[in-house]
């Protein structure tokens, strides 16, 4: 299926999902009004025309869903359920509609979170991380696994926050109180040798602290998240070297 068609379906499913949520709220409001009224029959009769309008809108929305479902029929990995309008409980139909739309949205969005180069970068990092697990304790492994899972799902903000927390933790564990002392200690132990490495560490720590403490209006992109994931892996390697038993 062409990317343009996929994106068209994505927009349609998001619209159907939003409309279904809005209709569900209106149904719930009307039902609460009827149930809370001391004049149940009168309230039911009064709201009946409004509920019939919701019924018509729900039916139209369901037709739109089935049209979009048909457009995605060639996507064999995606199974969207048929939803019959014969069900008496309209709110149940809308809830099913929301579930199926969210399923379609997640399916469509996932392949387009990363371009091919970013996909390769992520796969390379995942392989690299597996090799590092044997030298790390569980708290590092757990944080990294969650960060990578969130990255794969496109949840870039939580992934970046977890990675920034790890970076800040490791930096504080470096020998020395101040930045100069920490860098000097790493050089003395031959863990870093080039000036470019020193600059990279300082830049990485600054980036992570900005995310944790200052930039509340910042929402990371896929490339930014992969960048800070790479930064975190670099610092982990330094952390492992520092904590290896001396022979």
pLDDT tens per residue, range 201-213: 889 888 888 888 7
- Tens of pLDDT, residues 109-145: 766 667 778 888 999 999 998 888 888 888 888 999 9
Does residue 25 register a pLDDT over 80? yes
Q: If you write DSSP's letter for every residue of 182-223 in order, what string do you get?
A: HHHHHHHTTS--SHHHHHHHHHHHHHHHIIIII-TT----HH
Does residue 81 register a pLDDT over 80? yes
Q: Quick one: average pLDDT of 168-180?
A: 88
141 within 8 A of 232, measured Cβ to Cβ: no
Same domain, 105 and 121: no
* Two tokens, residue 117: 């180069």
Same domain, 31 and 124: no
What does each C-alpha distance from 92 to 30, 41, 218, 226 come to in angstroms? Answer: 15, 23, 38, 40
173 Cβ neighbours under 8 A, 6+ residues apart: 239, 242
109 within 8 A of 154, measured Cβ to Cβ: yes
Q: Quick one: average pLDDT of 17-44?
A: 86
Same domain, 194 and 206: yes
More confident position, 78 or 200: 200
Does residue 99 register a pLDDT over 60? yes
Domain that holds residue 193: 116-243
Same domain, 95 and 138: no
> What's the pLDDT score for residue 31?
83
Does residue 88 register a pLDDT over 70? no
Same domain, 105 and 155: no
224 within 8 A of 160, measured Cβ to Cβ: yes
> What's the pLDDT score for residue 23?
92
Nearest C-alpha neighbor of 91 from the set 134, 51, 146:
51
Among 96, 112, 128, where does a domain finish? 112
Does residue 9 register a pLDDT over 60? yes
When mean pLDDT is compared across 5-9, 72-76, 162-166, 228-232, the lowest value belongs to 72-76
Does residue 198 register a pLDDT over 60? yes
Among 67, 87, 112, where does a domain finish? 112
Q: Quick one: average pLDDT of 72-92?
A: 73
> What's the pLDDT score for residue 4?
63
174 within 8 A of 241, measured Cβ to Cβ: no
> What's the pLDDT score for residue 93?
87
The tally of domains found in the chain comes to: 2
Among 78, 112, 146, where does a domain finish? 112
Same domain, 61 and 177: no
Same domain, 102 and 140: no
Same domain, 173 and 187: yes
Same domain, 88 and 166: no
What whole-number distance in Å separates Cα of residue 25 and Cα of residue 43? 18
Same domain, 131 and 89: no
Q: Quick one: average pLDDT of 229-243?
A: 90
Same domain, 108 and 121: no
Same domain, 63 and 170: no
Average pLDDT over the chain, rounded to whole? 85
């Amino acid at each position: 299926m062409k990317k343009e068609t996929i994106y068209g379906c994505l927009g349609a499913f998001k619209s159907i999902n939003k409309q279904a949520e809005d209709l569900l709220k209106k149904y719930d409001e009307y039902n609460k009004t009827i149930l809370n009224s001391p004049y149940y029959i009168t309230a039911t009769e009064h709201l009946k025309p409004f509920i019939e309008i919701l019924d018509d809108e729900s039916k139209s929305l369901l037709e739109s869903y089935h049209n979009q479902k048909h457009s995605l029929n060639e996507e064999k990995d995606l199974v969207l359920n048929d939803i019959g309008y014969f069900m008496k409980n309209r709110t149940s139909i809308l809830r099913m509609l929301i579930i199926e739309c969210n399923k379609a949205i997640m399916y469509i969005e996932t392949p387009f979170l990363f371009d091919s180069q970013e996909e390769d970068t992520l796969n390379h990092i995942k392989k690299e991380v597996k090799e590092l697990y044997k030298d790390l304790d569980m708290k590092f492994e757990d944080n990294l696994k969650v960060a990578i899972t969130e990255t794969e799902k496109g949840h870039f903000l939580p992934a970046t926050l977890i990675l920034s927390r790890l970076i800040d933790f490791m930096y504080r564990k470096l020998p020395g109180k101040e930045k100069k002392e920490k860098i000097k200690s790493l050089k003395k132990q031959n863990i870093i040798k080039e000036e470019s490495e020193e600059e990279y560490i300082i830049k990485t720590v600054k980036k992570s602290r900005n995310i944790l403490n200052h930039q509340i209006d910042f929402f990371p992109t896929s490339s930014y998240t992969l960048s800070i994931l790479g930064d975190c892996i670099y610092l982990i390697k330094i952390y492992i070297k520092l904590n290896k038993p001396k022979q």
